[in-house]
Structure 1
Amino acid sequence: MKTTLYDLLEDTGQARGAARAIRHFLVGLIVVNVTLAVIETLPAVRAGYGGILTHIQMASGALFILEYCARLYVADLHPPLRRYGPFGARLRYALHMDAIVDLIAALPLILVFMLPHHAFTVVVILRLLRFLKLARYSPAIRSLLQAIASERWALMGATLIVSGVILFAATVMYLIEKDAQPDKFQSIPHAIWWAIATVTTVGYGDVVPITGLGKTIGGFFMLLGYGLIALPVGIIASAFAREIHSRDFVVSWSMVARVPLFEDLKAAEIAEVARLLQAQKVRAGHVIAEKGDVADRMFFISEGTAEIALKDKSIYLDTGDFFGELALIHQRPRTATIRAFHDCELLVLEAHALQQMMEKNPALATKILQEAERRGEEAVQSLGDLVSEELAMADVVADGGDGDTEEPDLFVEEEATAGEEPSPDEPKS
């Protein structure tokens, strides 16, 4: 039960459909809670629907507490934390930023019973902080935060430069305008407000220079502000792009490492194979691989769902699955057609690209060919060219329909999901 709970919360097991449902439910719950925390501050809404909103917030708080306790309970199953034992693993997990955000999301319900009524503001702020939980489910937000953290010293340097320019602008304007406007530029701290509004190009207009020299200097600092604001923006943008590229490479590397044909390769060799991957997008309903075509490439699904419809069932390959492994070595005609069930983003490894790399690296070629020969014999004995690992994580749905697609003679073993025989997938060679 504990392992199943861990798989559902961390989306690491074979019950990916249930894990995705839980993840989507939690994301929706976070959005609903943040929205209600905002509209609840409207007096009319609070007066008319205060009771209903309170019950929703109480139920949501209970769910967030339950989620936090469940994640803390399975914390010792995380691979990096296992060596610390049950207590040490949970303590280290509780100090992790994700766990702290989960705790913040659970606190409002607890504080409602502990704080006096006039502490409503604290509870509202904590409810709004539940928005931070979205970082757990959004790779883009996590990548942005990592990019900011990685460039923190450069951002601190840019902040010092901007602060220095603001202080200099305030000092100059104070010296120029103090006699003309003693009420607005009576000191450097008073002039700093004008300098901040000017350098950041906001320009509120409540404090403006009136002398000719002051207007000239003010215009100079306005133009300088555009360049200064571009400093941190450029730093974050370049770091974010680098982080996205690194994440995509790690994802590609891990996908390649899962393929049995490459699992015995060294990390550097897997990285070489990963660099050969090409991106391809296929719209829902369009064909990815046609029956009868030469199987000369393999596919990794980086996002989306692919479908093989057979006579009495459908096979669905989801994000992270692959097919066409043996197509890289033995280019046979495909025995089934596979289509994009949802819009798919694929990574494609072409046979000729891999063969060229193998020609340059004989040791790598030997490893791959030996594994391909062994797995090719298994496929032949099974009267097919798809190996079971490609379908082990696939969703098999019985249709009972009268589809006109002939069931391909694919390699299938009784190790499938949900205790039923994994269905044949797209033909692979």
Structure 2
Amino acid sequence: MQSHEFKRALFEVLEDTGKRRLAARSLRQFLIFLIIANVAFAVLETVPEVRDTFGPHLKFLQLGSGLIFLVEYVLRLYVADLHPPMRRYGPVGARLRYALHPDAIVDLIGALPLVLVLILPTQAVTMVVILRLLRFLKLARYSPALRSLISAVAAERRALLGSSMIIFGVILMAATLMYVIEHDDQPEKFKSILHGVYWAITTVTTVGYGDVVPISNLGKMVGAVVMLMGYGLIALPVGIIASAFAREIHSRDFVVTWSMVARVPLFEDLKAAEIAEVAKLLQAQSIRKGGTIAQEGDVADRMYFIADGEVEIKLARDSIYLGEGSFFGELALINQTRRSASVIAYRDCQLLVLEADALQNLMDRDATLATKIMEEARERVKAGKRILGELAEEELEQAGVYASAEDVETQPELFDPSASRKV
């Protein structure tokens, strides 16, 4: 049983799921630092002066970090059968399937240099250096923006292939024309169409090294047209990727927002379309570290979703900390009582705000939606879900704080402040 609990805890830390967010965030930041440091070490080691002076130290750091990457890879394989999509394949099948996943292959590439440096001859050191530099690919695991860019490129692969064929066609046509026009005047520089391809590539990409240029009037006219076309041709794949990337970011933000709203007990029984309507009401708000989000005693007329950052809820005897993906002030949408606690930004925060008036306007337009929300609110109040003013039991559980309303109201000494982080 203890072994299973340890494995579950390890999975939550490695994959950043569950309630061990602090440990997961610390591990993620450490690995990101280690990846960047490794790439820097691999580059610096090629400088003779640095290699001669710090060679032994750099080698020690490379071996140490390689061991860490190897342990990380082994541990990820160990917990692979806990991934929900992999569970049905069993322990062995899940690990084999996970090993073929792109993320796992990149992790293996990060661990390979440590193994290869021990078994390959000295002459193969170049391969080891290249593999060490490829460790920067591991950053894709920790960068949502980079993963979105990769997804955008993959989604538009057919359009990119089509634009590449257009560019190649223009290059081939320009090279053929230049070979026909300039071959007699410059037989050494335009020996064949392949030699013209080199000129066409440097011209279309607007690089223009100047080592091969047309000298005839007709050749210069063709060169001018190709240069002007180059701007449009290069902009073609850039525009495709940019629009796909923007669409991917928008889709990801919508999914994240929809998921956060769907987690709120007040809305959990709504249909997907109804949750989407509620999500449209959210307004973005940025709060700097130390800024006040809600003041004790103010009317609680809005709830908050934490898109990024961390907030501190200051209670009478303790403080509760909620991080990315959490929410608070749910019952404020219905009850609009006075706030029983002040909320400040513990770190810079990006918040999504749902105002009670906006929700009320939506409910006025949709009687079915209003009935569902009000019934859920009455059930939650009747079931004693209200706790510590406008805070709900689920909001405290997000921070790992567990207590019943009766315990807090009648026996505050039983409310265990050690379950949350102290100020």
2:397 counterpart SS class:
coil
Residue 71 (structure 1) shift: 0.4
SS, match of residue 329 in structure 1: helix
C-alpha RMSD of the superposition: 2.3
Matching residue of 2:307: 302
Check whether the contact 2:281–2:359 (CA below 8 A) recurs between aligned residues: yes
Residues 156-215 of structure 1 deviation map (CA, whole Å, 9 limit, x = unaligned) = 000000000000111111111111111001110001000000001111111111112111
Letter in 2 for 1:41: T
TM-aligned CA distance change 1:310 to 1:366, over 3 Å:
closer
Alpha-carbon distance in structure 2 between the residues aligned to 1:11 and 1:68? 16
Partner of 2:367: 362
1: CA distance between counterparts of 2:88 and 2:343? 43
TM-score by length of 1: 0.91
What residue number does 2:330 align with?
A: 325
Question: What is residue 124 of structure 2 aligned with on the other side?
Answer: 119
The 5 Å alignment of 1:415-426 reads: 420-421=418-419
- 1:49 deviates by 1.4
1:106-162 CA distances to partner (integer Å, 9 max, x unpaired)?
A: 000111112111101100010011000000000000000000000000000000000
Inter-CA distance 15–274: structure 2 relative to 1 (3 Å threshold): same
Deviations 1:223-270 (A, max 9, x none): 110011000000000000000000001110111111111122222222
Q: Which residue pairs with 1:37 in the alignment?
A: 42
Match of residue 52, structure 1, among 29, 49, 57: 57
User: How is 1:89-104 mapped onto 2 (pairs within 5 angstroms)?
Assistant: 89-104=94-109
Candidates 266, 273, 278, aligned match of 2:283: 278
Indicate how the Cα distance of structure 1 residues 212 and 106 shifts in structure 2: closer, same or farther if over 3 A, else same.
Answer: same
The gaps in structure 1 that reach 5 residues or longer are 397-407, 425-429
1:79 pairs with one of 78, 84, 91: 84
The answer on whether the counterparts of 2:385 and 2:393 sit within 8 Å (CA) in structure 1 is no
CA distance in 2, matches of 1:61, 1:211: 58
1:224 corresponds to which residue? 229
SS in 2 for 1:243: helix
Q: Which amino acid in structure 1 is aligned with residue 346 of structure 2?
A: F
Quick check: 2:387–2:393 contact (8 Å CA) kept in 1?
no
Quickly say closer, same or farther: Cα 1:380–1:150, change in 2 above 3 A. Answer: closer
- Higher helix fraction: Structure 1 or Structure 2? 2
Shift in alpha-carbon separation, 1:9–1:423, aligned structure 2, 3 A: closer
Aligned-partner residue type, residue 260 of structure 2: M
Q: Is the 8 A contact 1:306 1:339 kept in 2?
A: yes
Residue 367 of structure 2 aligns with an amino acid whose one-letter code is P
Counterpart selection for 1:180 from 155, 178, 185:
185
Taking the aligned partners of 2:421 and 2:288, their CA distance within structure 1 comes to 24
CA contact (8 A) 2:319 2:420 kept: no
Q: Deviations over 1:41-98 (max 9, x none)?
A: 1111111211111111111111111000100000010011111111111111111000
Confirm whether residue 344 of structure 1 aligns to residue 349 of structure 2.
yes
Deviation at 1:395, TM superposition (A): 7.0
Equivalent residue letter for 2:399: A
Distance of 1:140 and 1:25 partners within structure 2:
19
Determine what percentage of the aligned residue pairs are the same residue.
64
* Structure 2 residue corresponding to 1:250, chosen from 255, 260, 265: 255
Match of 1:168 in 2: 173
Indicate if the aligned counterparts of 2:315 and 2:342 stay in contact, CA closer than 8 A: no
> How many angstroms apart in 2 are the aligned matches of 1:142 and 1:49?
35
**1:132 maps to what in 2?**
137
Q: Any stretches of 5+ residues in structure 2 without a counterpart? A: 1-5, 402-407
Per the TM alignment, residue 383 of structure 1 is displaced from its structure 2 partner at its CA by 5.8
TM-superposed CA distance for 1:297, in Å, is: 1.1
* Offset of residue 387 of structure 1: 0.8
Contact 1:384–1:409 (CA<8 Å) still a contact in 2? no
Structure 1 stretches of at least 4 aligned residues deviating more than 6 Å after TM superposition: 408-416
Cα 1:154/1:380, change in 2 over 3 Å: closer
Alpha-carbon separation, structure 1, partners of 2:12 and 2:18: 5
Q: Where does residue 402 of structure 1 map in the other structure?
A: none
| Deviation larger for 64-73 or 287-296 | 287-296
Secondary structure class of the residue paired with 1:210? coil
TM-score by length of 2: 0.92
Letter in 2 for 1:229: I
- Equivalent of 1:211, from 208, 216, 221? 216
Q: What is the distance in 2 between the residues matched to 1:89 and 1:411?
A: 48
**More deviation, 129-138/53-62:** 53-62
Match of 2:244 among 239, 242, 259: 239
Q: CA deviation at 1:276?
A: 1.7
Is residue 154 of structure 2 the alignment partner of residue 149 of structure 1? yes
Q: Structure 2 vs 1, CA of residues 415 and 180 (structure 1 numbering), >3 Å: closer, same or farther?
A: farther
- 1:3-33 CA distances to partner (integer Å, 9 max, x unpaired)? 0000010111212111111111111110111
Alpha-carbon distance change, 118 to 137 in structure 1, aligned in 2, over 3 angstroms: same
CA drift at 1:309: 3.1
Q: Hey, what's the Cα distance between the residues in 2 that align with 1:43 and 1:376?
A: 72
TM-fit CA distance, 1:290: 2.1
CA displacement at 1:422 relative to structure 2: 5.5
